[in-house]
């Protein structure tokens, strides 16, 4: 199979990385807290690829189990003493604090594979490609670059496909490139049901549907096109929802006419908020990093300690939109 990769400059690091992986008998794969399909897909997809290529290796995927994503993969129990002799690989995680499962610190060597702009540097080998739509795209790209060395399976293809669909919001986001489509097309050739997978990814729980209703009704958009909504702990409690179940309203709110940038604030501890920032054009990750967060130019996360900081973030977004419309 001959496929032109988008980033031939990092072919070297892919080779280095796979060679390095091949030297270890025990490999433990971590990913970020509050996982999404890309986190689980890249973690479990990579595990599948390594297991299929090297059946004798012990490969584990570890972290908190998320019931909603169990159709992608279950987490392994990893005895703490295994870490000493193990290689740790972390997928889809920009910051060391966001790694799920702190035992990774017990390992001697770490590898980082990520598509977020370089934030924290950690790991013996770091492979960062912020042109990739998703971490799953990167891992599939590694296979497409060295298809003779890496064995793809239907299950790995399903997992990697899920992460690409998840992180691109079904190939809608700006990060979707022609290469993303090529990778997805190659993965689709394996025998898994993409319709079944899409249906699983589309499922909305009744309470999440109610949250969507609430969000659409209460979402405020300024005449400058800055939208926001605040979800209090009390509201989420009344709907029986946790913070991790609030992500589905984020793309939804961006569909409302006139919205240029938008913020979804979710109350964490009393009066303090986690914030998801999205934009249709203005670059927002600088504002995010000024408020204890960071991320992609058009999709970032931040924190607001109180209502005053919420106001501040919204004011800064308004200034940004005004500046960009000049
Ligand atoms: Mn991702």
Say what the pLDDT of residue 8 is: 55
Specify the 3-state DSSP secondary structure of 6: coil
C-alpha span between 107 and 67 (Å, rounded): 28
Predicted local distance difference test score (pLDDT) of residue 295: 87
**Along the chain (326 residues), what's the average pLDDT of each consecutive run of 10 residues?**
47 91 97 94 98 98 91 95 96 93 92 87 87 97 96 98 96 93 98 96 90 96 97 94 86 94 94 95 96 92 96 98 94
Distance from the CA of 167 to the center of ligand 1, in angstroms? 6
pLDDT of residue 2: 33
At 3 the pLDDT is 37
Distance 134 CA to ligand 1 centre (A): 5
CATH 3.40.50.280 fits 8-201, yes or no: no
DSSP code, position 296: -
**Tell me, what's the pLDDT at 145?**
94
- In the chain, where does the domain assigned CATH 3.90.1640.10 lie? 8-201
Cα 147 from Cα 306, distance rounded (Å): 51
Expressed in angstroms and rounded, the spacing between residue 40 Cα and the centre of ligand 1 is 9
Q: CA torsion 96→172→255→236, rounded to 10°?
A: -40
- Confidence (pLDDT) at 118: 75
Neighbours of ion ligand 1 (CB under 5 A): 38, 92, 134-135, 167
Q: How far is the CA of 96 from the centre of ligand 1 (A)?
A: 15
Three-state secondary structure string covering 147-209: CCCCCCCHHHHHHHHHHHHHHCCCCCCCCCCHHHHHHHHHHHCCCCCHHHHHHHHHCCCHHHH
For position 71, what pLDDT does the model report? 95
Domain 208-325, CATH class in plain words: alpha beta
Residues of the chain with CATH 3.10.310.30: 208-325
> From the CA of 92, how far away is ligand 1's center (Å)?
5
Dihedral of the CA atoms 140, 144, 148, 150 (nearest 10)? -10
Strands 58-61 and 87-91 turn out to be unpaired
Ligand 1 centroid to residue 114 C-alpha, Å: 8
Give the DSSP letter of residue 245: G
Gap from CA of 300 to ligand 1 centroid (Å):
12
Surface-to-core class of residue 80, CB atoms within 10 Å of its CB (0-12 exposed, 13-18 middle, 19+ buried): exposed
Q: How far is the CA of 32 from the centre of ligand 1 (A)?
A: 9
C-alpha to C-alpha distance for 276 and 217, rounded to whole angstroms: 19
């Amino acid at each position: 199979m001959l496929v032109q990769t988008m980033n031939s400059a990092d072919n070297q690091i892919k080779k280095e990385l796979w060679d390095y992986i091949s030297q270890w008998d025990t490999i433990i794969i971590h990913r970020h807290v509050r996982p999404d399909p890309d986190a689980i897909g890249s973690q479990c997809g990579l595990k599948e690829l390594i297991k299929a290529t090297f059946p004798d290796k012990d490969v584990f995927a570890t972290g908190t189990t998320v019931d909603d994503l169990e159709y992608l993969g279950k987490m392994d129990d990893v005895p703490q003493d295994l870490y000493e002799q193990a290689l740790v690989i972390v997928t889809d995680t920009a910051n060391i604090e966001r790694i799920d499962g702190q035992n990774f610190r017990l390992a001697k060597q770490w590898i980082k594979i990520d598509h977020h702009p370089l934030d924290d540097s950690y790991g013996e080998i770091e492979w960062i490609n912020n042109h990739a739509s998703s971490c799953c795209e990167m891992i599939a790209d590694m296979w497409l670059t060295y298809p003779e060395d890496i064995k793809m399976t239907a299950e790995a293809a399903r997992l990697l496909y899920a992460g690409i669909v998840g992180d691109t919001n079904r190939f809608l986001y700006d990060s979707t490139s022609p290469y993303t489509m090529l990778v997805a097309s190659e993965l689709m050739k394996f025998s898994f049901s993409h319709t079944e997978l899409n249906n699983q990814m589309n499922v909305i729980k009744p309470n999440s549907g109610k949250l969507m209703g609430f969000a659409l009704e209460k979402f405020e958009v300024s005449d400058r096109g800055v939208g926001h909504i605040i979800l209090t702990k009390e509201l989420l409690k009344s709907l029986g929802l946790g913070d991790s179940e609030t992500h589905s309203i984020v793309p939804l709110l961006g569909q409302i006419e006139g919205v240029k940038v938008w913020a979804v604030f979710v109350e964490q501890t009393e009066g303090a908020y986690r914030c998801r920032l999205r934009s249709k054009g203005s670059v927002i990750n600088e504002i995010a990093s000024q408020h204890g967060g960071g991320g992609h130019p058009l999709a970032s996360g931040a924190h607001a300690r109180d209502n005053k900081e919420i106001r501040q973030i919204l004011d800064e977004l308004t200034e940004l939109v005004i500046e960009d419309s000049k």
